[in-house]
Structure 1
């Protein structure tokens, strides 16, 4: 971890950050269920989704870099509740990715706390750079920023190992739901003075 630096994302780094997130999250159960697979086509769709998020609604984005290469990404956004997505879109049955994304994002929006909070997500580290402390460094940076505001934090996850990871930073499960037969956990961390 000694040669990893954490810095704010510049606008011209959004596309590379989106690619890192797509590689980091391609094996997430929910992404596999929504995008119907884990091949290159699905990765490109996930990358496009994150590129749109990071360019249209970036919030605050921190990058973990190894020299000049982005190896991890963490986005945080201050919000109170989330707008329900428009829709449902015109679709060609339940295998239509647009419809599946609508169902997923609507479910997450319904669970988003109405009170002002810092929302974590997405956060991801390249598979080749996991278990090196990079994710922990990004999470600690997030917690430090949130604690400086004495604010509540919130996130969603579909991975069991992520639940345990987030619990190390003080998050607790506050709700659960199924999206395309994948269990989603909604976690909150109370404000720290």
Structure 2
């Protein structure tokens, strides 16, 4: 597995590809990118933009030495996005194709349910399928969840796979609500974690 560390810009190619592979069978990824043959490549491109123009400049990304897994976090008060980062996200529009409007509606629905209370937000966590179920996910969560406990701050995420609810539950998260993607899309579970009391 290697040591958990903060990702750097040079990690983006390995991390984005690992996340693309990790989410190849994810219900939301399948909804946004329905063409199975192109899904990993499109997810790779999607995560490159998210890493370079959202999470690395504004949040924190934890990875392991070979970039086979990552956790992408936003802090309680993230910096405002830079103009160049906003413009870079426009490149995602053609990538989404016919699913652009449904993806936008889902984003709006999730944003409307996003808690107003100060918290750390886990935007994405994933590992290349060849490295899953080896404790990497727990190791990637540890730095920020430890900080949440030390600072007395909660954490929040949206879970897109029913079988992952138990994993997050072992780390103190509980389901607080659900959102269904538009046009018969998948269900997402909203999960909240109160800080552990010493």
TM band (smaller chain):
0.7 to 0.9
Q: Is the 1:80–1:113 Cα contact (8 Å) retained in structure 2?
A: no
Listed one character per residue, the Cα deviations across residues 38-76 of structure 1 (whole Å, up to 9, x for unaligned) are 32x2222222221111111111011023xxx21110111
Structure 1 equivalent of residue 23 of structure 2: 25
Matched, 1:48 2:45: yes
Q: 2:152 is matched with which residue?
A: 150
Aligned to 1:178: 180
Q: Structure 1 residues 24, 62: closer, same or farther in 2, change over 3 A? A: same
How many residues were matched structurally?
179
Alignment of 1:28-177 (within 5 A): 28-39=26-37, 41-58=38-55, 59-65=59-65, 69-79=66-76, 96-177=98-179
Q: Is the 8 A contact 1:80 1:115 kept in 2?
A: no
Q: What do residues 56-114 of structure 1 show as CA deviations (whole Å, max 9, x unaligned)?
A: 1111011023xxx2111011111469x9xxxxxxx9xxx71222321222222111111
What SS class does the counterpart of residue 131 from structure 1 fall into? coil
Normalising by structure 2, we get a TM-score of: 0.82
| Uncovered stretches (5+) of structure 1, i.e. residues with no partner | 84-90
Larger fraction in helix: 2
